[in-house]
Amino acid sequence: MIKMRNKRGWIRIVEAFIAIMLIAGAALILMNKGYLGQEDISQKVYNVQHSILKEIAINDAFREEILKLEDGAAVPQDINIFISSKLPNYLNCTSQICALDSACGTDYPAEALEKQVYAQSTAITATTQTYNPKQLKLYCWVK
């Protein structure tokens, strides 16, 4: 008779443990606020930005054009067209050229203010004729 009571006690302890685990699991799912269903696209965005900036950095014509600009000058139209042509449909981007040692900021369009903005930059330092280091920053957000 004593052995039967001990088995019943252990069964109740296991049942209580399982019940607590079920309640805790349900609470965690409710507190998650739907994060499990969202896809993290930050790596995709950074890969796109990196490939665009790399192509611009190795293009001699773009390098010359960027290095000839004064500080604070607007990004040349042909570079903006190149960037737009390389962007996937789900991204909007803006670019800026500034001095290599400055922390340049940008005025984002109103649609970007409510979104997460991904920023990446590349250094454009010199060609065989010109040394005027600049950085090209690319700011992107999901549409």
List pLDDT tens digits, range 21-59. Answer: 999 998 888 777 666 656 778 899 999 999 999 999 999
**Which of the four pLDDT bands, split at 50, 70 and 90, describes residue 5?**
low
CA distance 79 to 66: 9
| Per-residue pLDDT at 120 | 93
Residue 86: pLDDT over 80: yes
Can you tell me the mean pLDDT for 105-128? 82
Which range, of 5-14, 27-36, 69-78, 121-130, averages the lowest pLDDT?
Answer: 27-36
Which range, of 46-55, 59-68, 110-119, averages the lowest pLDDT?
Answer: 110-119
| Per-residue pLDDT at 143 | 83
CA distance 22 to 75: 57
**Which of the four pLDDT bands, split at 50, 70 and 90, describes residue 114?**
confident
| Per-residue pLDDT at 40 | 77
| pTM, 2 dp | 0.70
Between these two residues, 128 and 55, which has the higher pLDDT value? 55
Query: Any idea where the domains of the chain sit in the sequence?
Result: 2-35, 40-142
Residue 90: pLDDT over 80: yes
Average pLDDT, the chain: 85
CA distance 45 to 117: 10
